[in-house]
Homo-oligomer: A and B are copies of this chain.
Amino acid sequence: MLEDMGKAAKAASYRLAQLSAREKNAALEMIADNLEAQSATILAANEQDLAEARNNGLSEAMLDRLQLNPARLSGIANDVRQVCRLADPVGQVIDGGMLDSGLRIERRRVPLGVVGVIYEARPNVTVDVASLCLKTGNAVILRGGKETWRTNAATVRVIQSALEACGLPAGAVQAIESPDRALVNEMLRMDQYIDMLIPRGGAGLHKLCREQSTIPVITGGIGVCHIFVDESADITPALNVIVNAKTQRPSTCNTVETLLVHTAIAARFLPELSNVMAQRGVTLHADAAALAALSSGPAAVVPVKAEEYDNEFLSLDLNVKLVSGLDDAIDHIRAHGTQHSDAILTRTLRNADRFVNEVDSSAVYVNASTRFTDGGQFGLGAEVAVSTQKLHARGPMGLEALTTYKWIGYGDDTIRA
């Protein structure tokens, strides 16, 4: 079955690669309209998924994440209409020129071909990813969380009906319509058909993909993010940035998890940190040196466990560790970071420069919240994933990350000397 899906996707990809921006946008508009017009079938499937999830004892927070309603579906449809408005990167000439040999070359941006995406149980991701892939002329094979497989299947059928109404192949957007986990393993070996694989999920999924996939994988989305409070930091604005980075939306991967505090500022800084974090309900996980100062403050504080420095809490918990200076901070980040997003709060130019240069992360910040690492915030217009590896794309991945390029050589019966 997967083999047939692979063949259909590959065939569709050849067709999609030749579409103009106008043709792709017309299909996206039709998809948005059909998502609203045919919402009943999607909502019915979603109710079945929800009923099963409820029976399986999923938490209310999780159930809320799975649930669709007419308003949410309209929101999703409007997101598709937003994608229409983005510039189409396909066809863009990256560079080129005339060679000594007389060959005129150019590097032209083209779709990747077929993209595979494995994602969590979030119904909006199905449409998001499909529309971004379609916009960039890629076919896509989707494998969503098993808790929403009926919703995803119904959604993809609506998308396919829109594609066919536009004269485009249904193979352009396909979903693996089964909660069977073995199919994921099979998908990971389909290098003959899938050009790039994007796993969106926890560390386990990323490890599985890195170890089992024969398809090039984009790993990312796991963020053990740090903020280093330098000796010269200005305490009040620093706390403002830290509060934002920790509490603005704690469940996201760009949330700060560990605060590294210069010992020289600790005595002044930690009591104020405790005050602010108490108001926000944040529990501090402090190392021995910080614990003493924090224990007398109002914020909840516990001794940090060594393994918590590698934790992506995704909750109102924050490690606090004292460091002897910038070098110590950088060493800690190299040992425990996930190359996602790290920040320095400082008034010292040289330390800002060194932090930016020496911290090897997808995004590094000076006097700013780690929460900015996001395709929308970075002006990419959309985000298919956040890469924390170094090949192909790093950080938030927008439309350009869904493309590759080809070299084109125009000759006049030109031969190599």
Contacts and interface: CB of A to CB of B under 8 A. Distances in A.
Interface size class of A (residues with CB under 8 A): 35 or more
Contact of A377 (B101, B196, B244, B245): B101
A168 interface: no
Contact of A407 (B195, B237, B395): B395
Contacts of A217: 216
Nearest to A191: B210
A263 interface: no
Interface in A353-408: 356-358, 360-369, 371-373, 377-379, 389-392, 394-396, 404-408
A412 interface: yes
A69 interface: no
Interface string A344-357: 01000000000011
A1 interface: no
A18 B210 CA distance: 29
B415 A365 contact: no
A409 B360 contact: no
Interface string A228-261: 0000001001101100110010000000000000
B113 A368 contact: no
A240 to B, nearest CB: 6
Contacts of A358: 14, 17-18
B334 A113 contact: no
Contact of A390 (B196, B237, B407): B196
Contacts of A415: 240-241, 244-245, 248, 368-369, 371
| Chain A contact surface mostly | mixed
B413 A103 contact: no
Contacts of A357: 17-18
Given A216-B389, A389-B216, A404-B391, A414 B377 contact: no
A283 interface: no
A392 B217 CA distance: 11
Contacts of A307: none
B103 A334 contact: no
Interface in A91-148: 97, 99, 101, 103, 105, 110, 112-113
A368 B411 contact: yes
Given A372-B103, A411-B368, A391 B216 contact: yes
Nearest to A210: B214
Nearest to A389: B216
Nearest to A214: B210
A253 B109 CA distance: 24
The 10 closest A-B pairs by CB, nearest first: A368-B411, A237-B413, A244-B415, A390-B404, A371-B416, A391-B392, A392-B392, A363-B407, A368-B414, A365-B409
10 contacts: A18-B357, A99-B377, A195-B391, A234-B413, A356-B408, A363-B406, A369-B416, A371-B416, A372-B414, A396-B407
Given A366-B409, A366-B411, 13 more contacts: A99-B378, A110-B360, A195-B390, A234-B413, A237-B413, A241-B413, A361-B406, A363-B409, A364-B407, A367-B412, A368-B410, A373-B407, A394-B404
